[in-house]
Amino acid sequence: MDSALFWEMVIKALILILVLLTGFAYLTYYERRGLARIQSRVGPNRAGPAGLLQPVADAVKLIFKEEFIPGKAYKLVFILAPIITVVPAILITATVPWGGVVNIGGREVMLSIADVNVGVLYIMSVASIAVYGVVLGGWASNNKYAMMGGLRSTAQMVSYELALGLSFVGVILLANSMRMSEIVEAQRNLWFVVIQPVGAIVFFFATLAELNRGPFDMPEAEQELSAGYNVEYSGMKFALFFMAEYTKMVSISAIIATLFFGGFRGPWVDAVPGLGPLYMFIKIFLILFLMIWVRASWPRIRYDRLMDFGWKIMLPLSLALVFISAIGILFAELYGDMWMWLVPILSIVAGAIAVHTINLSLRRKANAR
């Protein structure tokens, strides 16, 4: 690797880290204002014009807040757990293409850090690491409530990672590649969300469960576990857990946009490559609003129903979607591209059966009472 390419990658990595950390700070503001509007409240409006300096005020407060480590905690692991949680949230976006190739100072620069041929596999591998920080944080606190929160998080993430991984398979089959840039290029004429609408929904809800976001925020069920796995953390250590969740929200939104909504592709992006990052920002902004909307609208799922939903609904449905995608691609190769529309039709039927199964289950439990 020549020195120019090395420094190019370093600069791109630093810019991406800066963007993610700034995005994390102002995502908290975006969420609080969005929740306030949905729930007919005001939201933060004191620190700076329209409350825009509220993330800065929160950061200053957490920096100067007293930190303590419980006397009987496992100190080294207690300190490392937040770091183990936040680092994968930043690294996961390394293979996401934010745009095409642009010309900067006479040099062609690709707007992605690492365009590797196993980009999807890299994302799946890095995403699964974050659970260790949550589990170790609960265990190292030497607190029964924190330990329970960590165990809940482990069970939940393992349950929904299966559906999440199978949702990737449908996209890989449609694009015939695991390289993220080729997945974007395969959506030049048609976004995968049109061919796999139910797959996009399964992926979205599986990521919500991975992020411990409402209505899947059982590891942080305050009324049951007194804040869950992070109950013993304060100051900047608590902020790192907080940072991991919101940074991963931005990262996951970028991945959803890339896999199902055409990534950086949009009108005139071939003529003006600089539009690619703008299209990515708009798509990420809208997906983040959808996550906020779900949190504001849906109540927390009871833990037994959460596990039932993961194993009895999401996993079989994601397996069915992989099978449907494979059948549709086979028929399209044998009998023509029109047969590819078999995939969205059958996937919607499978999704309708899943919704009907959920409805029957809820009715049965209500009648049992």
Query: Each residue's pLDDT tens digit in the chain (369 positions)?
Result: 567 777 778 888 888 888 888 888 888 888 888 888 888 888 888 888 888 888 888 888 888 887 888 888 888 888 888 888 888 888 888 888 888 777 777 777 777 888 888 888 888 888 888 778 888 888 888 888 888 878 877 788 888 888 888 888 888 988 888 888 889 888 888 888 988 899 899 999 988 888 878 787 766 665 565 667 777 887 888 888 888 888 888 889 999 999 999 888 888 887 777 788 888 899 999 999 999 998 888 888 777 788 888 888 888 899 999 998 888 888 888 888 788 888 888 888 888 888 888 777 767 665 665
Q: Which helix (H) or strand (E) holds 158?
A: helix 144-175
In this structure, what token pair is assigned to residue 193? 């969300």
- Report the C-alpha gap between 170 and 153 in whole angstroms: 26
Looking at residue 1, what is its pLDDT? Answer: 58
Neighbours of 5 (CB within 10 A): 10
The answer for residues whose C-beta is within 8 angstroms of residue 249's C-beta and 6 or more apart is 27, 211, 213, 288, 291
Instruction: Measure Cα distances from 86 to 10, 94, 239 in Å.
Output: 20, 14, 10
Helices then strands (H, E): number in the chain?
Answer: 15, 2
Query: Nearest Cα to 89, choosing from 151, 1, 21, 38?
Result: 21
| DSSP characters over 291-320 | HHHHHHHSPPPPHHHHHHIIIIIIHHHHHH
CB-based contacts of 69-77 (< 8 A; 24+ apart in sequence)? 70/141, 70/142, 70/143, 70/232, 72/142, 73/140, 73/141, 73/142, 73/232, 74/139, 74/140, 74/142, 75/140, 77/136, 77/139, 77/140
Name the phi and psi angles at 73, rounded to 5.
Answer: -75, 160
Closest CA to 192 of 329, 311, 285: 329
Q: Are 196 and 174 in contact (CB under 8 A)?
A: yes
Q: Which residue segment(s) compose the domain that 128 sits in?
A: 3-368
Q: How many domains does the chain have?
A: 1
Residues 6+ apart with CB under 8 A from 116: 95, 122, 179
Cβ atoms of residues 279 and 264 within 8 Å: yes
Task: Note the pLDDT of residue 226.
Answer: 61
* Reported pTM: 0.89
Amino acid at 197: P
- Lookup result for tokens 């095409």: 100
